[in-house]
A = this chain, B = another copy of it.
Amino acid sequence: MSRPLEVWFEFASTYSHPAVQRIEPLAKQAGVELRWRPFLLGPIFGKQGWNDSPFNIYPQKGAYMWRDMERLCEKYGVAFRKPAKFPRNGILPARCALASESQPWVGQFVRNVYNGNFVEDVDTMDPANVTRWLRQAGCPDPESLLAKVATEEEKQKMRARSDEAAALGIFGAPTFVVGKELFWGNDRLEDALEWAVR
C-alpha cells in the first residue's frame, strides 16, 4: 500500500525539468500514484522580497545552477539546453495543467512544456506552442481549453492554488508532498517515492 505523491511544479523552474522528465517511470515502478499540482512561484518569491529568480539575483548561484543542470541532465539522459530567456512566464500552460490535472494526458503535457522551455527554447506563453503541446499530449480540444483558462474563474483557481502552496510551506519547485512531508528539489525525488511506499 502506498500513499499518493503530489508533484508541485512551476514551469519556469529549472530543476523541475529533470524531475518531471524522470518521475512517471519511477512512480510506476514504485507503485505510487502521482497528483500533478501546478502552482506559481512568483507570489511566493515576492513575499521573500524577490522580484526575479534567485538564480538571477545571486549570479554565482545562477552560474553554478546552469552548469549543475548540464551535468545532472547528462547523468539522467534528459535532454537540456540553456534557454535564451530565464525565467520564462509559464502562467498560460500552468492554468491549462490546473484545469486538466486529473486527465490521463496531463503528465505528457507537463513534460512537453518543460521540453519547450528547456530543450526547444521557445516561448511558453505563445498560444500556438501551448496548443501544440496539448494536442501532442492527447488533449482532445486544445482550443476550448485555452478559451476556458482565459476566464476569471480559472485565473482565480490558479491564485488559490499558489496560496495553497504557500500555506503548505512550499518555497521552491519542484516540491513533492506525501501526507504532511515536503521534499524539495529534484534531488529528493527518490526519497519522496520511498516515503510514499513506507
Contacts and interface: CB of A to CB of B under 8 A. Distances in A.
Chain A interface extent, by class: 20 to 34
16 contacts: A48-B58, A60-B169, A60-B170, A60-B171, A61-B171, A61-B172, A63-B169, A64-B171, A67-B181, A68-B183, A68-B184, A68-B188, A71-B181, A71-B191, A75-B191, A187-B187
Contacts of A71: 181, 191
Contacts of A181: 67, 71
Interface centre among A58, A184, A185, by most chain B C-beta atoms within 10 angstroms, is A58
A120 to B, nearest CB: 27
Interface of A: 48, 58, 60-61, 63-64, 67-68, 71, 75, 169-172, 181-185, 187-188, 191
Contacts of A58: 48, 171
Contacts of A170: 60
Nearest to A171: B60
